[in-house]
């Protein structure tokens, strides 16, 4: 009778350990999936935010450029009769175009900076994912070792019980 109780206890313990191990693996897999999802969402949000800012900046520069271009055309049309006024307005137009080119160069610089930062963020996320994967593997290995130890203890207890 005591043997059945001990065997039942050992089997229950082994089943409990197996279920705990399975639940732990399941939770780790879920955490890993959630981490990847969050990382992906963070990248997507950063990309959307940057794209929106860049689009606004480009539209602003384009609008300013178109406005200045229209102004330059009107000045040229009026200046046909006044050569001196034409030369003065033409110089102003050149300065505005230079400013636009400078703004365009600034936009390109900002875009390059964003792309560098985006790549750095991607590398950081990849490092975090690798670290998370390594930690997950360490935990899984540890739980496997604990399971083997407990299983060996159960087997030793069974052998000791049988020898008695």
Average pLDDT over residues 139-163: 83
Is the Cα dihedral 57, 59, 62, 66 positive or negative?
negative
Percent of all residues in the chain with a pLDDT value above 70, rounded to a whole number: 92
Q: Residue 32: name the closest of 118, 131, 121 by CA.
A: 131
Residue 17 has what pLDDT?
87
The residues spanned by each domain of the chain are: 2-163
Largest CA distance in the chain: 122
pLDDT digits (tens, 9 = 90+) for 36-69: 898 889 888 988 888 888 899 889 988 998 998 8
B/e letters for 57-96, b = 16+ CB within 10 Å, e = fewer, are eeeeeeeebeebeeebeebeeebeeeeeebeebeeebeeb
Give the total residue count for the chain: 164
What DSSP state is assigned to residue 45? H
Average pLDDT over residues 6-20: 84
Where is average pLDDT lowest: 10-24, 31-45, 69-83?
Answer: 69-83
Residue 80 sits at φ, ψ, to 5 deg, of -60, -35
Residue 76 has what pLDDT?
66
Q: Residue 39: name the closest of 116, 138, 132 by CA.
A: 132
pTM of this prediction? 0.33
Residue 91 has what pLDDT?
85
B/e letters for 19-52, b = 16+ CB within 10 Å, e = fewer, are eebeeeeeebeeeeeebeeebeeeeeeeeeebee
């Amino acid at each position: 009778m005591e043997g059945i109780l001990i065997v039942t206890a050992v089997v229950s313990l082994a089943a409990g350990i197996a279920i705990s191990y399975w639940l732990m693996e399941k939770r780790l897999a879920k955490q890993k999936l959630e981490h990847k999802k969050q990382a992906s969402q963070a990248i997507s949000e950063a990309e959307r935010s940057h794209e929106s800012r860049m689009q606004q900046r480009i539209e602003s520069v384009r609008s300013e450029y178109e406005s200045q271009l229209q102004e330059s055309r009107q000045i040229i049309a009026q200046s046909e009769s006044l050569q001196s006024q034409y030369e003065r307005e033409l110089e102003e137009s050149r300065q505005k175009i230079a400013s636009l080119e400078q703004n365009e160069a600034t936009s390109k610089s900002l875009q390059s900076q964003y792309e560098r930062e985006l790549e750095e963020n991607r590398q950081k996320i990849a490092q975090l994912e690798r670290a998370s994967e390594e930690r997950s593997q360490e935990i899984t290995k540890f739980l496997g070792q604990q399971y083997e130890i407990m299983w060996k203890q159960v087997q030793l207890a069974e052998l000791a019980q049988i020898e008695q």
